[in-house]
Structure 1
Amino acid sequence: GRISEGSGEDPYLGSAIAKAMVKGYQGKDLKNEFTMMATVKHLALYGAVEAGRDYNSVDMSKVKMYNQYLPPYQAAVDAGVGSAMTSFNDIDGIPATGNKWLITDLLRKQWGFKGFVVSDYTSVNEMTAHGLGDLQAVSAQAINAGLDMDMVGEGFLTTLKKSVQEGKVTEEAITIACRRILTAKHQLGLFDDPYKYSDTSRPKKDILTAENRAAARKIATQSFVLLKNENNVLPLKKDAKIALVGPLANDKNNMLGTWAPTGDPQLSIPVLEGLKNVAPKAKITYAKGANITNDPELASRANVFGLRVDIDKRSPDAMIAEALRNSKDADVIVAVVGEASEFAGEAASRTEISIPQSQKKLINALAETGKPVVLVLFSGRPLTIAEEFNLPINILQVWNPGVEAGNAIADVLFGDYNPSGKLTASWPRNVGQIPIYHSMKNTGRPAPAHQFEKFKSNYLDSELSPLFPFGYGLSYTTFEYSAIAVDKKKIAQDEVINISFTVKNTGDHDGEEVVQLYLKDEVRSITPPKRQLKGFKKIFLKKGESQRVTIPLSANDLKFYNSELKFVAEPGKFIVFVGGNSNAEMS
């Protein structure tokens, strides 16, 4: 569930985003009232909990840890992040909040982190449930491990004096923790003005201004991913007759996404309103068509921060019948479906990540009309939508777009913005494929690409490939890659190689493309991934226009952590691939 809060499956992309976020939050001067101290979280491995269930255990080799999970954290530290928060899971059997190797040896000594470390909410206390002793024992373990701040749990407040008296904690350890927190307050200018961030006049002038709403709308459009556009149904004509259906089509409560309990969903723009704003000449009929789910227990769990799932008093069949009646004279059907906002996020793990059955029934009924159908799909995570993908429909993934959701979705549906978003995580065909990601390793018995072969690493009942690969995303136009070249065939440890290629817009619309460069290490001292992302650029091309793109690679980009956890670039042969997703074929 918490993938909705993250940056996806790739360490290179995650590192780039981490650096950008630290820069965006902290700026150049933490004393500036328009900045804030960033916190990198959750340190570490929280994305690898067993069974995908929040707060669960993690068991991972150091090689995988250093090469795939730790790079974004280190990138945030290198960018000067002021604070770090520990994760709930254990690492090598020791909870992160009391893990001296993680907090002191890795974070502070190896990476040179100078800020303060805070626990997650009551994670000090929860070390007791992990089985490591009473509150006094785990509080002592945490501060001795290097933790500086105990969030909410009050174990530090109520037990450390006794632990000092008993010789279990030194006064120096407490002094160091206090110094780090006071240093952060000094960096933020709180000694000069303790109330500088408590200006009650700022919300009215800084939040939901026209400028900020326009930015929110633009950012949302750029995040959408076009997954399927059969027969170029999209973009829609602004004078079309549109049957708008679906439980999220006229819904304000699920636009903001997870972890927005202080946001006012009633200030958000629903899809119905957005379509009318952007295409006032369109003839739009609306029907709910289905509930997000018909399961009252699931609905109650999703309504923890307010109404997110409203189960209609009408029967499911009656709602579908109304949707079909409204669709009878339409040129196109737009079905707005998917997850409620609280179906993803913290403590929102699911064992089935398909579209709920109530909505599947509606989608199938709409597809059977024979009319063009556009699925506008909401979710906080990758979903298993192989069944829907195989229907004669079109799919625009919009995640949880925020306060300007309806306007942004309409901008893309009607072609005012040509979608350019790319997937930051592979989408599995089914849950049995999980974990699935583009940088997986080969086995000694790799399976053929498109056929089953006994005694190879296959499934009996499914293809190996994901439904959508990492980096995937269509456009209303098409792009052609050609003429790849490298400026040198060999580089030394201190040199850079430039990979150049041509991208041409071969379609009928102006558009943006995120060009991606992947690397394959042919031979090395530990088994290499099939390929790794090592560069990307976003370019804009008018229809018919070409552009020569160059992406540099240094020896540092070829480095990895070997079996001795040394960061090395070994001599060897490397293949580069460029294209529009991780299945890039031009090399």
Structure 2
Amino acid sequence: MNINLPPYKAAIDAGAGSVMTSFNEIDGIPATANKWLLTDLLRKQWGFKGFVVTDYTAINEMMAHGLGNLQTVSALALKAGVDMDMVGEGFVTTLQQSLKERKVTLNDINDACRRVLEAKYKLGLFEDPYRYCNTASAAKEVLSADKRQAARELGARSCVLLKNDRQTLPLKKSGIIALIGPLANNKSNMLGTWAVSGDAQLSVPVLDGMKQVAGSSVNILYAKGANISDDTSFAKKVNVFGERIDIDTRTPEQLLTEAITTAAKADVVVAVVGEASEMSGEAASRSDIGIPESQRKLLTALAQTGKPLVVVVMSGRPLTLTTENEQATSLLEVWFQGHEAGNAIADVLFGNYNPSGKLTMSFPRNVGQIPIYYNYKNTGRPQPEGPTQKFHSNYLDVPNDPLFPFGYGLSYTTFKYEGLTLSTNKINGSQTIDVAFKLTNTGAYAGEEIVQLYLRDREASVTRPVKELKDFQKIKLQPGESKTIHFTINREKLSFFNSRLQWIAEPGTFDLMIGASSADIRLKNTVELL
């Protein structure tokens, strides 16, 4: 109630028209047959009026969970609150028999049909069943110039700068750049996972994007350097939707030699490495979330050249990048950006756009730290500041904190936080507190900063996290410009679900923290709820 459900509740409050059931179970009951979840919570407590659809064959898959045959699980799903059976056809083939056997009622079936028909009516499909099937419109809109420009801008905004020693970035639009890596001149992986209908060959690779953005004054030398992976059996599993891991006809040694030779000619090396698009996402679990060995060898060799090394990482999730962080002069996480990936990444590398992204997940130092997240709860013996102490909550081989924390992300400029003021430090009833501070761009580039507000409940009837993100704003400032930023704290921001599942705000003291990330708190104060 405090962690998992709030984003879904927010979607319902914002007017979501349909909800999909998940494959997993909750308290021993698969979500697709969970009446508490789909009826008691979703409809009765949250007031949801739309329709519920299963995930792909989720009803059928409850048989493997051990809940019965197709007729049994189909009846369970309908009674729980499912309105539409995606693909599995359990409703179509079994509900008539279940109705005869009184395992479901006509009202159950009518309710489900009504909700589906209401959705079609609201979408205007009664007036025109083919309203959204205009092939002429699709030909005009899909990958149109304005859509590609939007994709380029959004891609640049999604980049997260993780490291930038010696201000290696932004790159100069002059000199010689060695662009190296299996994802540097690759179209097949730019769209990311679950884009099976997209034409990956219409993507802009990083090589083309850098040439376009840099102009004629930069000499860009390219070498593949390594395969995404040298493991042919692994590649076969990844290449389920087409070739994502292309294993070169040249040997790994030949690829590496070419890369080192290319790097030796350059002023700076840009290495584009990471995952193939199908190495993360649904049905793509990995026990090791590091960069594959073939690419690790490449980065080690490039680091040993002594040239400034900009590592660009493509991935669909946090990776373990401890060694890569040590080797890189600059480290940029770019995810999978779509058709305009090459242009968007080049915009960031050359400073046409100043990166402003922040991490929405913590990056672990190694897999042994997982699960790792910023809003953890203390144990009875938390590790204090200073040297590691026996019989406290800590690791023997790594620090407790992540490599890169939630909310983290650098910029080409710097920001100063100062002058925190509160209109009052006490909330009584419906009273609110205005929190204000001054944010100043103290660097040489125009930039955007995502300022973050965290709260901690010092004492409560149930254990509470060490901090919780409660608000954030993205602020754009010119060099030297200052702006007063305001946050509002109300009773709602101090509330939580207690052990009796009551949404309450308990009187007490709360720590107020404002910063650039969950680990980089710049301003502090306290507020009191009366």
Q: Same fold, TM exceeding 0.5?
A: yes
1:81 aligns with 2:16: yes
Of 523, 536, 544, which residue of structure 1 is paired with 2:472?
536
Number of matched pairs? 522
Superposed displacement of residue 448, structure 1: 2.0
Match in the other structure for 2:51: 116
Task: Kindly provide the CA deviation profile for residues 287-321 of structure 1, in whole angstroms up to 9, marking residues without a partner as x.
Answer: 00000011111111111111100011211111111
Shift of 1:554: 1.1
SS in 1 for 2:156: helix
Distance across 2 between alignment mates of 1:390 and 1:152: 48
Q: Please name the residue that 2:523 is paired with.
A: 586
Give the structure 2 partner of residue 164 of structure 1: 99
Q: Report the residue type matching 1:328 in the other structure.
A: A
Task: Give 1:567 deviation, angstroms.
Answer: 0.4
Helix, strand or coil at the partner of 1:168: coil
- The amino acid across from 1:257 in the alignment is G
Q: Are 1:101 and 2:19 an aligned pair? A: no
**Where does residue 3 of structure 2 map in the other structure?**
68
AA at the equivalent of 1:139: S
Match of 2:145 among 196, 204, 210: 210
CA distance in 2, matches of 1:496, 1:117: 37
**Gap runs ≥5 in structure 1:** 1-65
CA contact (8 A) 2:75 2:103 kept: yes
8 Å CA contact retained: 1:244, 1:334? yes
* Structure 2 letter corresponding to 1:404: E
| Distance in 2 (alpha carbons) for counterparts of 1:492 and 1:555 | 9
Runs of 4+ in 1 over 3 A off after TM superposition: none
Distance in 1 between residues matched to 2:156 and 2:431, nearest whole Å: 39
Q: What's the counterpart of residue 403 of structure 1?
A: 339
Matches within 5 A, 1:15-414: 66-280=1-215, 281-414=217-350
**Paired letter, 1:164:** L
Match of 1:428 among 364, 367, 377: 364
User: Which secondary structure state, in structure 1, belongs to the residue aligned with residue 58 of structure 2?
Assistant: coil
Q: What is the DSSP-based 3-state SS (H/G/I as helix, E as strand, rest coil) of the residue aligned with 2:475?
A: strand
* Equivalent AA in structure 2 for residue 437 of structure 1: Y
* Deviations 1:306-351 (CA, angstroms, capped at 9, x unpaired): 1100011211111111001111120100000000011111101111
Match of residue 37 from structure 1: none
What is the alpha-carbon distance in structure 2 between the residues aligned to residue 551 and residue 165 of structure 1? 59
Contact 1:294–1:358 (8 Å) recurs in 2: yes
Instruction: Tell me if the contact between 2:192 and 2:337 (Cα under 8 Å) persists in the aligned partners.
Output: yes
Q: In the alignment, is the contact (CA less than 8 A) between 1:493 and 1:569 conserved in 2? A: no
Q: CA deviation at 1:461?
A: 1.1
Distance 1:114 1:240 in 2: 61
Supply the distance in 2 between the matched residues of 1:483 and 1:341 (Cα, whole angstroms). Answer: 45
SS in 2 for 1:375: strand
Distance 1:464 1:531 in 2: 16
- C-alpha distance in 2 between matches for 1:265 and 1:450: 50
Q: Distance in 2 between matches of 1:397 and 1:369?
A: 23
Does the 8 A contact of 2:417 with 2:522 survive in 1? Answer: no
CA contact (8 A) 1:450 1:463 kept: no
Other structure's SS at 1:419 match: coil
Q: CA contact under 8 A between 1:441 and 1:527: conserved in structure 2?
A: yes
1:544 Cα deviation from its structure 2 partner: 1.6
1:18 matched residue in structure 2: none
Q: Distance in 1 between matches of 2:168 and 2:175?
A: 12
2:434 is the counterpart of 1:498: yes
**RMSD, aligned CA:** 0.8
**Cα pair 1:291 1:359 within 8 Å, conserved:** yes
Residues 299, 327 of structure 2: 8 Å contact kept: no
Tell me the distance in 1 between the aligned counterparts of 2:466 and 2:197: 43
Contact persistence 2:25–2:31 (CA under 8 A): yes
Partner secondary structure for residue 124 of structure 1: helix
Residue type matched to 2:112 in 1?
Answer: A
> 1:392, CA displacement in angstroms?
4.5
Distance 2:77 2:295 in 1: 47
Question: Deviation per CA, 1:429-450, whole angstroms, max 9, x where unpaired?
Answer: 1111111111101111010235
Greater alpha carbon shift after TM alignment, 493-502 vs 66-75 = 493-502
Superimposed CA distance per residue, residues 466-522 of structure 1 (whole angstroms, 9 cap, x where no aligned partner): 001100000001111111111101012311111111111111211110011110111
Asked whether the 8 Å contact 2:310–2:328 carries over to 1, the reply is no
2:116 and 2:343 mapped to 1: Cα distance? 43
CA distance in 1, matches of 2:125, 2:385: 59
Q: Residue 554 in 1 paired to residue 490 in 2?
A: yes
Could you tell me which amino acid in structure 2 is paired with residue 308 of structure 1? R
What are the Cα deviations for residues 32-87 of structure 1, in whole angstroms up to 9, with x where unaligned?
Answer: xxxxxxxxxxxxxxxxxxxxxxxxxxxxxxxxxx0000001111111111000000
**1:496–1:554 contact (8 Å) kept in structure 2:** yes
**What is the letter of the counterpart of residue 268 of structure 1?**
S
| Displacement after TM superposition at 1:268 (Å) | 0.6
Once residues 455 and 241 of structure 1 are traced to their aligned partners in structure 2, the CA distance between those partners, rounded to angstroms, is 54
CA deviation digits over 1:383-432, x for unaligned, max 9? 00011112242101000011100111110100010000000001111111
Q: Distance in 1 between matches of 2:295 and 2:156?
A: 24
Q: What is the percentage of aligned positions where both structures have the same residue?
A: 59
Distance 1:493 1:178 in 2: 45
Distance 2:429 2:162 in 1: 40
Output the TM-score relative to the length of structure 1. Answer: 0.88
Q: Partner letter of residue 480 of structure 1?
A: K
Equivalent in 388, 392, 412 of residue 456 of structure 1: 392
CA contact (8 A) 1:256 1:403 kept: yes
Q: Which SS does the other structure have where 1:390 is aligned?
A: helix
Counterpart residue type for residue 416 of structure 1: N
More divergent stretch after superposition (265-274 vs 312-321)? 312-321
Please tell me the residue identity of whatever aligns with 1:509.
Answer: Y
CA deviation map 1:180-203 (0-9, x unaligned): 100111000111111101111111
Looking at structure 2, the residues matched to 224 and 326 of structure 1 have their Cα atoms a distance apart, in angstroms, of 26
Q: Structure 2 length as normaliser, TM-score?
A: 0.98
Deviation at 1:240, TM superposition (A): 2.4
Contact 1:90 1:96 in 2 (8 A): yes
Asked whether the 8 Å contact 1:422–1:471 carries over to 2, the reply is: yes
Query: Cα–Cα, structure 1 residues 253 and 458, in superposed 2: closer, same or farther, change >3 Å?
Result: same
Asked if 1 retains the 8 angstrom alpha-carbon contact of 2:311 and 2:328, the reply is no
Q: Which amino acid aligns with 2:383?
A: A
